Structure 1
Amino acid sequence: MSAALVAAAVTPPLILASSSPRRADLLARLGVTPARIAAPDIDESPLPAEPPRRYVERIARAKALAVERAPGEIVLAGDTTIALGRRILGKAEDAASVGTMLGLLSGRRHHCLSAVCVIAADGTLRSRLSDTIVAFKPLSAAEIAGYVASGEGLGKAGGYAIQGRAEAFVRFLSGSHSGVVGLPLFETRALLLASGLALG
């Protein structure tokens, strides 16, 4: 049996605890295809006065723990939120919230916090946080209205998708582009390797 086949035989199956197609696409960049996808059902409401960093790390862990895991399986979960100071800008639920969030982000820097949590085959839980600084150019009312009308920001943290039309609003970015999309690949790869998943 070749070394590649031996590695494949001993590599634990991976469960992606997310229904986000963006996270599955990003995982594919690491050469990883989940054995199955399981969407966790948890309450993602922030706790009173909860800091954004603590919030996103807590939610990522809660998602990983909410998924049923068979012995020997690895679970990967992630969560991404936008922090404007201590204010958490979660997923935009409607067009009005997209417009409101873009207005808040216009001409300002914000932090995109993306947490990753992995439960190894032996049950060990590991997590890491990616903090990316993003600065938007000042947005005109017409630019905000046009983006809202596109529908692209619905369901996205902070009301925008950097992998789409909103990337043209970004005048500065320091950190992980993939983290802003929804899964920081550097941190994810390190966690998967530490949890026993064989990667190329």
Structure 2
Amino acid sequence: MTEIAPSGATGPEEAFPVPPINTSGLGRPLRVLHIGNIANNAYNNAKIQRAAGIEADVLCYDYYHVMGCPEWEDADFEGDVGDPFFPDWWAVDLGGYERPRWFVQGRASVCRAYLTAAREGRERKARRKWRRLQAERWVRCRTTRRARIIRWVRCRTTRRARIIRGVGRTVRVRTATLRVPTATFRVRFALA
């Protein structure tokens, strides 16, 4: 929903004009990374900072709540997104809204990899990581039968992998030295 400020401005960039920041001593623009995005505070701050020429990014890892998504703030939509903790933005018409590339939401490791690739100018890797973030968010938040099946398979596979790793950790290998009058042997045995 777009609210009109008393001055007639339609967004925070226009309602609160921020003077450009002098970064001539740095030789580059200021860079800010907001970590976390409860109630879209980081997203709104980053929008204002970007309007002022600051390179601001938002890293919102493992948090998908409806009020931590940019769609909630900027997209005009009608309909039900389902679970507010894992909103299904594909189920509603966002009116052509597209999530900005400087807002990253997903698993922490993939978010970091995307932001690093984007910052270092490795566009191909950044595009690949962005698609991975979108796919993971689709699997996590989508309410269709296909997404539920994929989640179920992933959960079962992950659970089995944990069990196998756990078994490997519980079996400890011990070494004992046996002294026999004629020779010394080193014997390895497993304790469960």
Same fold by TM-score greater than 0.5: no
Select the structure with the greater relative contact order (CA < 8 A; seq sep ≥ 6).
Answer: 1
Task: Name the TM-score, length of structure 1 as normaliser.
Answer: 0.25
User: TM-score, with normalisation over the residues of structure 2?
Assistant: 0.26
| Bigger radius of gyration among the two | 2
The structure richer in helix per residue is 2
